[in-house]
């Protein structure tokens, strides 16, 4: 539970991309997933998404999925990426618990 | 009926995007570009919307990968030159570019510095960069070529005691300041908000 202390907080964009990629998706599907899940609140620009996908791939949290011959390039979360997502969920739970305590549980 | 226009926008990326969007509002969408030429065909008014993106700092591989990615998103992408240059076998040194893009030739991003990106209009604002951190780094890539030009011209102006070069240097200061302001604004916002 405590081992995420060294991991640091993820950005919302990063976390949503990791969540989207629990099943293989190409770029457009990732964008659709995020828009749908947030009800359009988080609408990601293609350039920002492209940069984020590349950084996550460099970190080894996501990887290309299948052979991308002439088909659209798909990505999938890695084991390491799942670990990061689990730590983030624990961090957010803690944050929400503190916020509820202080702001109140009305929301 | 296709319609041909001859325009040159140089480094005025926003002006170019505004003009393309105005053409779309009048019912014309882009089908082909050349150095100065923009060829349009008829479409529904406001059927498409445009963004202009600078990719001159990218290596050939990265520029092409990015273009492919945008096309996979369902956008139509046109390459466009930012300068007017008709020489063949041109080689340019771009110290502000990323690794692999610093020697620009006709085979790399030379004369392909801009992407004109067309999206079917869904009523939402069309932006390629949406988070503060990403905007900050994009505006940095826009500022750096102007900053280098400014420093070089200023140095030559002083070395040659030339007023004309000084004027050119002062002109370069304007885009540097415009982009620098965006960098600062986004950096300040990024301290508390992601986007």
How does pLDDT run across B18-47, given as a tens digit for each residue? 999 999 999 999 999 999 999 999 999 999
What integer pLDDT is reported at residue B84 of this predicted model?
Answer: 85
What integer pLDDT is reported at residue B91 of this predicted model?
Answer: 80
Contact B72 A72 (CB under 8 A): yes
Q: What's the gap in Å between the CA of A45 and the closest CA on chain B?
A: 4
Q: What's the gap in Å between the CA of B194 and the closest CA on chain A?
A: 7
Helices B132-160 and A46-59 cross at an angle (nearest 10°) of 100
- Alpha carbons B22 and B188: distance in angstroms, whole number: 32
Q: What is residue A74's DSSP assignment? A: E
Helix, strand, coil % over all residues of chain B, rounded to 5: 45, 20, 35
- Alpha carbons A55 and B58: distance in angstroms, whole number: 16
Instruction: CATH number for A10-103: choose from 1.10.1740.10, 3.30.300.100, 1.10.10.10, 3.30.1490.20.
Output: 1.10.10.10
For chain A, list the strands marked E by DSSP: 25-26, 62-65, 74-77
Domain map of chain B by residue range? 3-120, 132-190
B193 touches chain A (CB under 8 A): no
CA dihedral A16, A48, A35, B124 (to 10 degrees): 170
The partner residue sitting opposite B66, judged by closest CB among A28, A50, A73, is: A50
B159 touches chain A (CB under 8 A): no
Reduced to 3 states, what is the DSSP secondary structure of residue B4? strand
DSSP per-residue string spanning B19-79: HHHHHHHTTEEEEEE-SSEEEEEE--TTSEEEEEEE-TTS-HHHHHHHHHHHHHTT-EEEE
- What lies within 8 Å, CB to CB, of A92 at 6+ separation is none
What integer pLDDT is reported at residue A6 of this predicted model?
Answer: 59
What integer pLDDT is reported at residue A1 of this predicted model?
Answer: 44
Q: Phi and psi at residue B93, in whole multiples of 5°?
A: -95, 125
Domain map of chain A by residue range? 10-103
Measure CA B163 to chain center: 29
A35 touches chain B (CB under 8 A): no
- Alpha carbons B60 and B74: distance in angstroms, whole number: 21
What integer pLDDT is reported at residue B126 of this predicted model?
Answer: 95
- Alpha carbons B117 and B101: distance in angstroms, whole number: 21
pLDDT in tens, B87-103: 666 788 888 888 878 88
Ranges of chain B whose pLDDT falls below 50: none
A42 touches chain B (CB under 8 A): yes
What pTM did the predictor assign? Answer: 0.90
Structure tokens at A61: 């949290």
Size of interface A-B (CB pairs under 8 A): 52
- Alpha carbons B160 and B163: distance in angstroms, whole number: 9
Contact B138 A47 (CB under 8 A): yes
**Other CB atoms closer than 10 Å to residue B195's CB: what's the count?**
20
The partner residue sitting opposite A43, judged by closest CB among B70, B73, B130, is: B130
Of residues B34, B36, B39, B38, the one with CA closest to residue B2: B39
Q: What's the gap in Å between the CA of B153 and the closest CA on chain A?
A: 32
Structure tokens at B138: 């994009």
Query: In DSSP terms, which residues pair with B29 in a beta bridge?
Result: B41
B73 touches chain A (CB under 8 A): yes
- For A39: left if phi > 0, alpha if psi spans -120 to 50, otherwise beta; the answer is left
Ranges of chain A whose pLDDT falls below 70: 1-7, 68-70, 105-107
Q: What's the gap in Å between the CA of B98 and the closest CA on chain A?
A: 14
């Amino acid at each position: 539970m405590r081992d995420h202390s060294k991991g640091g907080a993820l950005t919302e964009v990063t976390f949503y991309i990791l969540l989207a990629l629990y099943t293989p998706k190409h770029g457009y599907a990732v964008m659709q997933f995020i828009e749908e899940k947030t009800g359009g609140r988080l609408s990601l620009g293609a350039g920002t998404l492209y940069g984020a996908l590349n950084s996550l791939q460099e970190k080894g949290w996501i990887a290309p999925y299948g052979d991308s011959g002439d088909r659209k390039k798909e990505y999938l979360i890695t084991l390491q990426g799942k670990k990061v997502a689990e730590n983030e969920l624990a961090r957010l739970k803690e944050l929400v618990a503190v916020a509820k305590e202080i702001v109140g549980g009305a929301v | 009926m296709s319609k041909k226009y001859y325009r040159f926008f140089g480094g005025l990326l926003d002006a170019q995007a505004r003009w393309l969007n105005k053409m779309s509002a009048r019912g014309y969408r882009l089908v082909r570009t050349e150095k100065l030429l923009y060829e349009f065909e008829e479409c529904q008014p406001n059927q498409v919307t445009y963004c202009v993106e600078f990719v001159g700092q990218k290596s050939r591989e990265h520029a092409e990968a990015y273009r492919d990615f945008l096309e996979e998103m369902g956008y139509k992408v046109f390459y466009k030159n930012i300068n007017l240059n008709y020489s063949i076998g041109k080689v340019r040194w771009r110290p502000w570019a990323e690794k692999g893009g610093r020697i620009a030739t006709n085979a790399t991003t030379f004369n392909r510095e801009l992407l004109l990106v067309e999206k079917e209009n869904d009523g939402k604002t069309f932006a390629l960069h949406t988070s503060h951190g990403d905007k900050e780094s994009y505006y940095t890539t826009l500022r750096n070529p102007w900053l280098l030009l400014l420093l070089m011209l200023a140095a030559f102006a002083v070395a040659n005691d030339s007023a004309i070069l000084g004027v050119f240097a002062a002109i370069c200061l304007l885009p540097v300041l415009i982009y620098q302001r965006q960098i600062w604004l986004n950096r300040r916002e990024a301290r508390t908000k992601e986007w």
